[in-house]
Chains A and B, each alone.
Chain A
Amino acid sequence: MSDKKPKNVFREGPISSDFIGNSIYKHQSKTSIGAHNIFLGQVRADDIDGKTVSAIEYTAYEDMANQKFHEIRESAFDKFDLTCMHIYHSLGSVKAGEICLFVFVSSPRRKVVFEALEYIVEAIKADVPVFGKEIFEDETHQWKVNS
């Protein structure tokens, strides 16, 4: 079920638990699925030099980012026996403790979804031009870099 045109992966603000729960609910009709696996990226309140991160403001080079997400999808469908896959990433401000990345993979069998999810999340971190400005409680900031 791979799509040929890039979808818009981005959502403004945090990804709500309602949205995530509803995504799970929508898969009840897909009864060939035997295993789901979900990754939720959460904004961490890092302490850096005595200051605490209160939020991350996400921006992206959106067209290229959506193209990269599309390539990651296509590549994951080629490599793994997936029934379906959904990726959502936040733009704008996401507070510490809120969800900024939601990756959801489904397959008839469990082993596939463990491997596929790690592959997809690592590819997102490495290849997608998304930028994060870590805002501290005193309104100063620094730029996040994926390690």
Chain B
Amino acid sequence: MHIRIKYLGQIVEVTGKEEETLEVAGGQVSDLLDVLNSKYNQLKNKDFQIAQNQELVSLETELTGFEIALLPPFAGG
């Protein structure tokens, strides 16, 4: 499946881009994270949560094809 991935805040400094679309076989969020960790080797040093279709998800959540976002610690207000 094609998954659009958005990078926010300091994650952009690791990926060098704000978004991209990747072709993955499916599986869980952790499978996608494995792909991203091998693509961006500084990513494992960063603290972030993952959202799928704009809801926070766990590593065990099944990928649905909806947009994924990597969200570093929030700093609103």
Contact = CB atoms under 8 A, between A and B. Distances in A.
Residue of A100, A125, A131 with most chain B CB atoms under a 10 A cut-off: A131
17 contacts: A61-B69, A63-B54, A64-B55, A101-B76, A121-B77, A125-B76, A128-B76, A129-B74, A131-B10, A131-B72, A132-B75, A143-B10, A143-B75, A145-B73, A146-B75, A146-B76, A146-B77
Interface string A16-48: 000000000000000000000000010000000
B26 interface: no
Interface residues of B, number: 15
A84 interface: no
Contacts of B69: 61, 64, 129
B9 interface: yes
Given A67-B54, A89-B77, A61 B72 contact: no
Interface of B: 6, 8-10, 51, 54-55, 69, 71-77
Size range of the chain A interface in the assembly: 20 to 34
Residue of A60, A126, A127 with most chain B CB atoms under a 10 A cut-off: A60
A146 B69 CA distance: 19
Interface of A: 41, 58-61, 63-65, 67, 89, 100-101, 121, 124-133, 143-146
Contact of A101 (B54, B72, B77): B77
A126 B75 CA distance: 8
A145 B51 contact: no
A113 B23 CA distance: 49
Nearest to A126: B74
A131 B18 CA distance: 13
A133 B9 contact: yes
